[in-house]
Amino acid sequence: VAPMIQAAAQGDPDQVLCARILEVLRWFGPLAIEPALRAYAEAERDEVRWGFAGLLSECGVRDERIFQVLIEEVRRDALSAGQLARYGDHRAVDHLRREIDRYEVEAGGDPQANWELMEILQAIEDLGGALTAEQAERLRSLLQRRRERSPVAAALDSFFAPFERLA
């Protein structure tokens, strides 16, 4: 396990070899946890930490340290919400709701705008959670204003339709 962790720590998780190493390390389950937690703590690059967080989320081990790593990743980058959902700890819903409260919806027609919000919403749904009434109303209001400003945004916001049931 140690040489694989070292190789992953020096690589780029977006590269095929590093991604495969991280994928194989998941099979080791509990044996990968301690070295992966150390590598995460020692990593200097965000993308390396993100790769180890993904590994930890899918090792099948419940450990408070892993939960905290995954919460930290979501605070740093909301696109990590899927890792938290894959971990499967329902306590994460409250943390994800706080991320929703901090999130600023982008009003433009950029196809990638608000992708982070969709990741958070999907994670909440995957964990069996729901938005608070205030969050649901805020989301509807923000999306309505966005749709009124841009026909492109209106078309793109159809991606949000499935999440309206979280309210």
pLDDT over threshold 70, residue 156: no
**What per-residue confidence (pLDDT) applies to 76?**
94
Burial label, 148 (beta-carbon count in 10 A; 0-12, 13-18, 19+): exposed
What pLDDT sits at residue 160? Answer: 67
Q: Which residue, chain included where needed, has tokens 């995954």?
A: 70
Indicate if the pLDDT at residue 110 is higher than 70: no
pLDDT for the residue numbered 153: 66
The three-class DSSP label of residue 82 is: helix
Q: Provide, rounded to the nearest whole percent, the portion of the chain with pLDDT above 70.
A: 84
d(CA 104, CA 157): 15
More confident residue, 63 or 158: 63
Instruction: Report the pLDDT value the prediction gives residue 89, as an integer from 0 to 100.
Output: 97
For the segment 56-63, the average pLDDT, to the nearest whole number, is 96
